[in-house]
Structure 1
Amino acid sequence: MSVTLKDFYADWCGPCKTQDPIVEDLEEDLGDRLSVEKIDVDENQDVANEYQVRSIPTIVIEDEDGSVIEKFIGVTQREELEAAIEQAEA
């Protein structure tokens, strides 16, 4: 079973740089349970539009069926992300 974390970002985005180490730590600690997709909104506007990403960073947590469990806008702390990941695994 694998949960997907989609991290919508841009290279020029300051808050995205704050979000990066949080996501990297999660990926390191939950690597076998979590699949991380980094999506550059400048290069993937169609995907960003599909997920209705209007500001970044935005993180979308999906369960293994691809259903969106939670969407976080702005820098999100590890605890909140972990809680959503656990919910997606339930």
Structure 2
Amino acid sequence: MSKVLDQFSEKHGEIIEVQIVNVREYPDVARLYQVRYVPTLVFLDEGGKMLDKRVGYMPLDALEKHWAGLGYDLSGEGK
């Protein structure tokens, strides 16, 4: 999953910030977002509010479509 997140960040990093958190090193973050399985993707808005959470692998195109489904324009022309 980290390879996909790296690709996503390279492509859309100016629009959406990608953070990879090791839940073993930061168990408080895992508790905050109720992460029980790895990988878990947590989608946050600009204010830090959780929009959605998905468990499991997502290919790049599915990740892009998911953000679009949450109302984010990945073309760089605004939300």
Q: Same fold (TM over 0.5)?
A: yes
Q: 1:48 aligns with which of 30, 47, 71?
A: 30
TM-score with structure 2 setting the length: 0.80
AA aligned opposite 2:52: E
- Structure richer in strand, relative to its length: 1
Unaligned runs of 5+ in 2: 73-78
- Give ranges in structure 1 of 5+ residues lacking alignment: 1-18
Q: How far is the alpha carbon of 1:84 from its aligned partner?
A: 2.8
* Runs ≥4 residues deviating over 3 A: none
Give the aligned CA root-mean-square deviation in angstroms: 1.4
State the Cα distance separating 1:62 from its structure 2 match: 0.8
Q: Percent identity?
A: 31
Q: How many residue pairs are counted as aligned between the two chains?
A: 72
Kindly state the Cα deviation for residue 83 of structure 1 after the two structures are TM-superposed.
2.2
* TM-score after normalising by structure 1: 0.71
Contact 1:59 1:73 in 2 (8 A): yes
**CA shift at 1:88, angstroms?**
4.7
Identify the match of residue 10 of structure 2 among 3, 7, 28: 28
1 or 2 for the larger relative contact order (CA 8 Å, sep ≥6)? 1
Distance in 2 between residues matched to 1:47 and 1:66, nearest whole Å: 13
